[in-house]
Amino acid sequence: MLDPLKIKAISFDLDDTLWPIWPTIERAEKALHDWLTVHAPMTAALFSNPAALRDIRAQMSEARPDLKHDMSALRRESIRLALYRAGDPPMLADAAFEVFFAERQRVDLFDDALPALEFLSARYPLVAVTNGNADLQRVGLAHFFRAAISAREFGVAKPDPRIFHAAAGAVDLTPEFVLHVGDDATLDALGALNAGMQAAWLNRGDSAWPHPNEPHVMLGHLAELVDLFP
């Protein structure tokens, strides 16, 4: 069971916890394709289906395991490979990625996200812990967070305990005093449990919990998290 009196800070996952990620990625991929149509038409034609670019990304993941924790570098190098294969200048990859990345920061928050952040950030230091490449400054939520730990910058991704320990350390606490909130049962909830944190699994889709060890609390939405605190 959750022990609210023990909690001195809260860490949050971002993608699919505070906003749905796939509508964001689909918009960003469309913006990228529109840019390629003008600046690299052969690439736009060859990779007109978003699934084709995702296949390239999967190939790049296998070819460059050193990039597995850096979603930005992986995306940029995937674009570079697509340009090369289509016969367009690979040097366009940086500009093309910036188009994608700017649109990737335009997120639509879940209705419960902003009220929860406003309430909780007034009571606890908040830390973002993400395997993705959202930029809280560009998203517009940085003022709610004391710190942000990303796999890209830290070099280790969830569910590795070290990234959770880094989140606790960012607010000068040991893990047992931190509650982690996230949507992924394995990466977030189980990862936090194994790191010694209290864990809140945000289960918006009413899925079955897949692991023997259960989180301290299961939530259908973030308003339920707010209700746990005075």
pLDDT tens sequence across 155-167? 999 999 999 999 9
Residue 49 confidence (pLDDT): 81
Grade residue 52 by pLDDT with cuts at 50, 70 and 90: confident
Q: What average pLDDT does the segment 98-110 reach?
A: 97
Task: Give the pLDDT confidence score for residue 47 in this predicted structure.
Answer: 87
85-97 mean pLDDT: 97
When pLDDT is averaged across residues 5-18 and rounded to a whole number, the result is: 98
Q: How confident is the model at residue 123 (pLDDT cuts 50, 70, 90)?
A: very high
pLDDT at 212 over 90: yes
Quick one: pLDDT band at residue 95, thresholds 50, 70, 90?
A: very high
> Do 4-19+109-226 and 22-104 show the same overall fold?
no
Q: In terms of Cα–Cα distance, which of 226, 229, 228 is closest to 113?
A: 226
Kindly report the CATH class assigned to 22-104.
mainly alpha
Confidence band of 183 (pLDDT split at 50, 70, 90): very high
The CATH homologous superfamily for domain 4-19+109-226 is HAD superfamily/HAD-like (3.40.50.1000)
Angstrom distance (rounded) from CA 128 to CA 145: 7
Q: What is the pLDDT of residue 90?
A: 97
Question: Domain limits of the chain?
Answer: 4-19+109-226, 22-104
Residue 22 has pLDDT above 80, yes or no: yes
Q: Taking residues 13-42, what's their average pLDDT?
A: 96
Average predicted confidence (pLDDT) for the chain:
95
Confidence (pLDDT) at 57: 85
Percentage of the chain modeled with pLDDT above 90: 88
Tokens of 49: 């289906």
> Taking Cα atoms as reference points, which of 195, 127, 126 lies closest to residue 158?
195
pLDDT digits (tens, 9 = 90+) for 124-150: 999 999 999 999 999 999 999 999 999
Model confidence at 50: pLDDT above 80: no
- Using only C-alpha atoms, the chain has a radius of gyration, in whole angstroms, of 19
Q: The whole model's pTM is what? A: 0.92
